[in-house]
């Protein structure tokens, strides 16, 4: 029988990205819409671990969670671990305004996937994609900061100008999920 992973997320975009990656490894994935704590912390690893432990406590199942952030070099890594809050408050336009007179557009997305079984410690997997913040929003696909981020190897397209398959060729989340899936199929 093939493997199954339970992915705790309320974000259907993240779930679809995960489904696509897991299908490469013949791992079926179920979306668990359990609301987990999202602590404020300066480290996305700590956020992922807290969320994994909380999800396991609520569901008593082996759980996969994922936490990500956008780190902008000229802003000393801001919004980083605060990406979710920044997206909800000032949004994509707010970040573009902060970057208005800044020439250095370098940024990266970092994703941490945490897997946790009941009564065990979470195990973490990482993925990172280097890129740039563009000057104007482009594209309608995806979510979050996708319209303003272009990966270095993406031919100049923003993530929001890519379909899911193309984004998954480059994305931080796909890299972290692949690292997890390679380990998981050997368990
Ligand atoms: P989360 O806490 O992992 O859900 O991510 C924090 C925030 O980072 C989200 O609200 C998004 O705004 C942003 N983010 C995370 N991953 C992505 C992505 O793949 N594309 C665009 N924005 C993302």
Per-residue pLDDT of the chain (187 residues; tens, 9 = 90+): 689 999 999 999 999 999 999 999 999 999 999 888 888 899 999 999 999 999 999 999 999 999 999 999 999 999 999 999 999 999 999 999 999 999 999 999 999 999 999 999 999 999 999 999 999 999 999 999 999 999 999 999 999 999 999 999 999 999 999 999 999 999 9
Of the residues 54, 67, 103, 140, only one is catalytic, namely 67
Residue 67 Cβ inside 6 Å of ligand 1? The answer reads: yes
Nearest residue CA, atom 13 of ligand 1? 144
pLDDT at 1: 64
134 neighbors 142 (Cβ within 8 angstroms):
no
Nearest residue CA, atom 6 of ligand 1? 84
Whether 43 sits among the annotated catalytic residues: the reply is no
Distance CA 42, CA 82 (A): 8
CA angle 9, 68, 109 (to 5 degrees): 145
Nearest-CA neighbor of 132 among 167, 106, 96?
A: 106
Residue 131 Cβ inside 6 Å of ligand 1? The answer reads: no
Q: Ligand 1 centre from 146 Cα, in Å?
A: 8
Residue 4, CA distances (Å) to 56, 63, 120, 172 in order: 16, 10, 18, 22
What is the three-class DSSP state of 72? strand
Question: CA torsion sign, 24 to 68 to 110 to 86?
Answer: positive
* CA atoms within 13 Å, Cβ hemisphere of 58: 15
Distance CA 49, CA 122 (A): 6
Ligand 1 atom at minimum distance from 17 CA: 19
Residue 83 Cβ inside 6 Å of ligand 1? The answer reads: yes
Nearest residue CA, atom 10 of ligand 1? 84
Contacts for 146 with CB less than 8 Å, ≥ 6 apart: 139, 158, 159, 160, 167
pLDDT at 37: 83
pLDDT at 38: 82
Nearest residue CA, atom 7 of ligand 1? 84
pTM assigned to the model: 0.96
User: In the chain, where do the E strands start and end?
Assistant: 3-8, 27-32, 63-72, 79-80, 106-116, 123-133, 149-151
Nearest-CA neighbor of 172 among 92, 108, 82?
A: 108
């Amino acid at each position: 029988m093939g493997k199954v992973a339970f992915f705790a997320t309320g974000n259907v975009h993240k779930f679809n990205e995960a489904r696509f990656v897991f299908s490469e490894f013949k791992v079926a994935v179920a979306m668990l819409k359990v609301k987990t704590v999202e602590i404020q912390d300066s480290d996305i690893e700590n956020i992922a671990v807290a969320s994994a432990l909380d999800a396991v406590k609520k569901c008593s199942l082996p759980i996969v969670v994922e936490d990500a952030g956008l780190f902008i070099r000229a802003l000393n890594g801001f919004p980083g671990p605060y990406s979710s809050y920044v997206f909800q408050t000032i949004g994509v336009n707010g970040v573009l305004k902060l970057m208005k007179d800044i020439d250095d557009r370098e940024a990266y997305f970092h994703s941490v996937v945490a897997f946790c079984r009941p009564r065990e410690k979470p195990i973490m997997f990482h993925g990172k994609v280097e890129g740039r913040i563009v000057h104007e929003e482009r594209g309608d696909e995806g979510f979050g900061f996708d319209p303003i981020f272009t990966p270095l190897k993406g031919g100049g397209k923003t993530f929001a100008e890519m379909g899911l398959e193309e984004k998954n060729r480059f994305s931080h989340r796909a890299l972290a999920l692949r690292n997890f899936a390679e380990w998981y199929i050997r368990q």
